[in-house]
């Protein structure tokens, strides 16, 4: 890959990271607002202004809404990639998987922290292990990554680079988020 194309890929990846974060948190925000809660959000978290939801059943619905939006994003870009085999669509598929997998990887050693994550909250409300929600959800997102990678004939090096971009750009956008707010 030429240097110019790599820089362009990095630019699109940066946009994909920002879009994914905004859409995901926006899904939480919209669901909470539609349920009548005054909400606030940033790139890393959405919460009710008053510190609690008006009804306890709002929490799992708001938690599920962000994951739903991330899944819809991956599906839409996967479908677009099926029509137009354009490399710059791939980050919009790759990053939702990374963005949703990372919190669960981090919480592996701290099970109590898992219940602060989206599917952990839904699982707790339903009285089931969050893993019953996490594995199928991440499996589906991973399928889109593998399928998209196959459609574009992406080699492992670009996927490794995408993983590195994901880490670095997540840190970058979260740092920008914390500096602004």
Helices (H), 35-109: 58-83, 91-106
pLDDT for residue 13 = 94
Report the 10 Å Cβ neighbour count for 39: 21
pLDDT along the chain (181 residues), means of 10: 89 94 96 96 92 93 94 97 92 93 80 76 86 90 96 92 91 88 72
pLDDT at position 125: 85
Q: Which residues contact 149 (CB under 8 A, 6 or more apart)?
A: 90, 159
What is the predicted pLDDT for the residue at 108?
77
Domain spans of the chain, in order of start = 3-180
pLDDT value for 23: 96
- Residue 15: C-alpha distances to residues 92, 156, 172 (Å): 9, 22, 12
* Cα 143 to chain centroid, rounded: 15
Is 0.85 topped by the overall pTM? yes
């Amino acid at each position: 890959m030429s240097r110019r194309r790599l820089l362009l890929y990095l630019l699109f990846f940066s946009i994909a990271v920002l879009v994914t974060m905004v859409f995901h948190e926006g899904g939480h925000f919209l669901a909470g607002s539609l349920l009548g809660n005054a909400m606030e959000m940033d790139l890393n978290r959405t919460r009710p202004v008053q510190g609690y939801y008006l009804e306890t059943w709002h929490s799992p619905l708001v938690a599920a809404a962000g994951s739903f939006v991330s899944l819809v994003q991956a599906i839409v870009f996967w479908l677009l990639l099926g029509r137009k085999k354009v490399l710059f669509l791939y980050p919009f598929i790759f990053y939702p998987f990374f963005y949703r997998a990372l919190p669960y990887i981090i919480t592996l050693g701290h099970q109590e922290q898992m219940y602060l994550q989206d599917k952990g909250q839904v699982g707790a409300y339903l009285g089931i292990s969050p893993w019953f929600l996490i594995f199928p959800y991440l499996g589906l997102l991973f399928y889109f990554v593998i399928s998209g990678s196959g459609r574009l004939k992406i080699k492992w090096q670009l996927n490794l680079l995408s993983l590195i971009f994901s880490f670095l750009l997540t840190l970058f956008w979260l740092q920008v988020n914390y500096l602004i707010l």
